[in-house]
């Protein structure tokens, strides 16, 4: 079966949902949740946002591949990806801003009883 024929059995709604879903899945695979980002913002906000950016880039590659496979659904695929990426990016930006402005109780213990990250690399 040719690549162009793979998606011919799916409708526009399915293409939109699949595109949105892959963006959410890829970003989630690369990051902690927005809630964890907010709780640990003082220690890890910049690192977490780096992985949000990498997740968005990876998601764009997958959405682009889907557009190549099924060009007649490119509008729906791109729309789903852009909407999902926009929502997820806004969530993480909000979590970072809120966590830095109003730090709560972090979920991680960086006291002397916990090994600092520099010791983890040597282990």
Residue 15 has pLDDT above 70, yes or no: yes
Q: Would you list the DSSP string of 47-85? A: HHHHHHHHHHHHHHHHHHHHHHH-GGGHHHHHHHHHHHH
Query: Which band of pLDDT confidence, cut at 50, 70 and 90, is reported for residue 112?
Result: low
Residue percentage of the chain with pLDDT more than 70: 76
Residues 6+ apart with CB under 8 A from 87: none
Q: Among all chains, which residue has been given the structure tokens 């990250």?
A: 117
Q: Is residue 119 part of a domain?
A: no
**pTM of this prediction?**
0.69
Within-domain flag for 41: yes
**Domain count within the chain:** 1
Residue at 66 is within a domain: yes
Enclosing domain of residue 96: 10-101
Q: Is residue 18 part of a domain?
A: yes
Residue 93 lies in a domain: yes
The answer to whether residue 1 sits within a structural domain is no
8 and 71 in contact (C-beta within 8 Å)? no
83 domain residue, yes or no: yes
pLDDT tens digits for 17-56? 788 888 888 877 767 777 778 888 888 888 888 988 998 9
């Amino acid at each position: 079966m040719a690549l162009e024929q793979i998606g011919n059995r799916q409708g526009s709604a399915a293409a939109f949902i699949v595109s949105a879903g892959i963006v959410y899945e890829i970003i989630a695979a690369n990051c902690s949740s927005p809630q964890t980002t907010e709780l640990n913002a003082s220690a890890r906000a910049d690192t977490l946002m780096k992985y949000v950016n990498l997740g968005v880039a990876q998601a764009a590659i997958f959405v682009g591949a889907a557009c190549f496979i099924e060009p007649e659904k490119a509008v729906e695929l791109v729309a789903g990806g852009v909407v999902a990426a926009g929502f997820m990016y806004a969530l993480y930006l909000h979590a970072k801003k809120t966590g830095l402005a109003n730090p709560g109780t972090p979920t991680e213990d960086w006291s002397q009883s916990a090994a600092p990250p520099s010791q983890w690399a040597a282990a």
